């Protein structure tokens, strides 16, 4: 059942190239220059006339929503707000008939997300679901939707659900961008081709596994860890921190890199590992100067960089490379080493990787 892997989590991490392909199969038609998604086509007017898109979700799915916020605004020029379902449902939010709500949920059973959907429907919003589990409550409760087709995710720590959610949301953003004309034909085609090539690049990113295992031996006894990223990779930093804390019980926090000087920098000393996502596209110079600030305070730096990077190598204690891709797609690659790092650290600490204490795979109570 674990397909030769020791844990479901590891199996699911390694399944990502295949899972992402399954997600875009039949939808991403790069040669024809089309994104085909019935749930969007049939409701195109609702999306195009939307005042804004509100994304609701919890946990890792909320992080996928944050990545989507950057993608939708950048490519399709539609304003997006991302909300924790639990906060949204209880704060009397302003929702109108011109709003589109996208609910993201792997299980399709998360109580708070389901309640947020019901509320938005009552107020006349159009509700679109992005779920993995076919026929789940959220899939049934939404007006339309798109499945991620990641296959069953058993490990409590979400991995392939996250990358496939981002894949679906990217396809939606591209489809809307094409319809709105907010991307040139050349840009649109460029993204389709690049997305089609992502599974092979994820495969490449997975080749760092042995290196990451070595890095893990050095940090397995840490009590804290900081994750930093900017732009598209800020949500990836949040996701990396969540992954580490939920399975290894090490306290971890994710921050936008530039926020470091507004507080977290006070935590940095020679005991503090800082995982920094510093891919070449995306505020690279600024992130490099953040790395310098960490180094001058003797922090330990684990950097995720673009293949062939030279400048970060001189500063960081460890560098893990991912292949180059266009900026909006970098989260699909930078997430991989962070998943592996949390997996190895948790394992070395003797934790139950697939079933961490106190957690359930689907949170059906609030």
Catalogue the active-site residues: 361
Binding string, residues 138-157; x marks residues near ligand M6R by CB under 6 A: ------------------xx
Q: Could you tell me if 141 and 133 are in contact, meaning their C-beta atoms sit under 8 angstroms apart?
A: no
Q: Could you tell me if 151 and 15 are in contact, meaning their C-beta atoms sit under 8 angstroms apart?
A: yes
The answer to whether residue 107 forms part of the interface with ligand M6R (CB under 6 A) is: yes
Question: Residues 40, 41, 46, CA angle at the centre, nearest 5°?
Answer: 65
Residue range at the interface with ligand M6R (CB under 6 A); choices 37-45, 55-63, 170-178, 217-225: 55-63
Of 155, 176, 180, nearest to 7 by C-alpha is 155
Binding string, residues 56-75; x marks residues near ligand M6R by CB under 6 A: --xxxx--------------
Residue range at the interface with ligand M6R (CB under 6 A); choices 38-46, 47-55, 90-98, 106-114: 106-114
Which residue among 113, 142, 163, 170 contacts ligand M6R (CB under 6 A)?
Answer: 113
Distances (CA, A) of 250 to 246, 272, 330: 8, 12, 26
The answer to whether residue 362 forms part of the interface with ligand M6R (CB under 6 A) is: yes
Q: Which residues pair with 344 in a beta bridge?
A: none
Q: Could you tell me if 63 and 239 are in contact, meaning their C-beta atoms sit under 8 angstroms apart?
A: yes
Q: Minimum distance between the CB of residue 58 and ligand M6R, rounded to whole angstroms?
A: 4
Which residue among 86, 110, 167, 279 contacts ligand M6R (CB under 6 A)?
Answer: 110
Q: Specify burial of residue 32 (Cβ count, 10 A radius: 0-12, 13-18, 19+).
A: exposed
Residue, CB closest to ligand M6R: 59
- Alpha helix locations (H) across the chain? 8-14, 16-24, 38-41, 44-48, 59-71, 85-88, 111-122, 137-141, 160-180, 185-196, 198-206, 209-219, 234-248, 284-295, 311-315, 331-348
Which residue among 86, 106, 167, 334 contacts ligand M6R (CB under 6 A)?
Answer: 106
The answer to whether residue 342 forms part of the interface with ligand M6R (CB under 6 A) is: no
Residue range at the interface with ligand M6R (CB under 6 A); choices 44-52, 99-107, 272-280, 342-350: 99-107
Residue number, 169 or 287, with CB nearest to ligand M6R: 169
The answer to whether residue 246 forms part of the interface with ligand M6R (CB under 6 A) is: yes
- Residue ranges in contact with ligand M6R by CB under 6 A: 58-61, 105-107, 110, 113, 156-158, 242, 246, 359, 362-363
């Amino acid at each position: 059942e674990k397909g030769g892997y020791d844990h479901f989590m590891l199996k699911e991490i390694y399944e990502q190239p295949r899972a992402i392909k399954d997600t875009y199969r039949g939808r991403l038609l790069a040669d024809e220059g089309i994104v085909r998604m019935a749930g969007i086509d049939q409701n195109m007017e609702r999306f195009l006339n939307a005042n804004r898109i509100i994304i609701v979700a919890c946990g890792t799915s909320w992080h996928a929503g944050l990545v989507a916020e950057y993608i939708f605004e950048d490519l399709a020029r539609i304003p997006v707000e991302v909300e924790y379902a639990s906060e949204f449902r209880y704060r009397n939010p302003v929702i109108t008939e011109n709003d589109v709500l996208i609910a993201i949920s792997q299980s399709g059973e998360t109580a708070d997300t389901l309640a947020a959907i019901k509320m938005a429907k009552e107020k006349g919003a159009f509700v679109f679901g992005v779920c993995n589990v076919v026929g789940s409550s959220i899939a049934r409760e939404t007006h339309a939707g798109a499945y991620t087709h990641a296959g069953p995710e058993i490990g409590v720590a979400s991995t392939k659900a996250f990358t496939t959610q981002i894949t679906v949301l990217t396809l939606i953003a591209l489809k809307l961008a094409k319809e709105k004309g907010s991307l040139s034909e050349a840009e649109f085609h460029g993204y389709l081709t690049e997305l089609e090539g992502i599974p092979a690049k994820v495969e490449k990113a997975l080749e760092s596994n042995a290196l990451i295992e070595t890095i893990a031996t050095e940090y397995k006894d840490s009590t804290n860890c900081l994750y930093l990223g900017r732009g598209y990779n800020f949500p990836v930093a949040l996701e990396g921190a969540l992954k580490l804390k939920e399975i290894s019980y090490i306290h971890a926090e994710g921050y936008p890199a530039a926020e470091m000087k507004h507080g977290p920098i006070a935590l940095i000393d020679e005991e503090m590992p800082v995982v920094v996502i510093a891919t070449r596209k995306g505020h690279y110079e600024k992130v490099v100067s953040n790395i310098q600030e960490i180094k001058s305070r003797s922090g330990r730096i684990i950097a995720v960089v673009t293949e062939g990077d030279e400048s970060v190598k001189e500063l960081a204690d460890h560098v893990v490379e991912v292949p180059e891709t266009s900026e909006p797609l970098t989260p699909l690659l930078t997430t991989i080493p962070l998943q592996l790092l949390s997996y190895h650290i948790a394992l070395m600490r003797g934790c139950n990787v697939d079933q961490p204490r106190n957690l359930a795979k689907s949170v059906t109570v609030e």
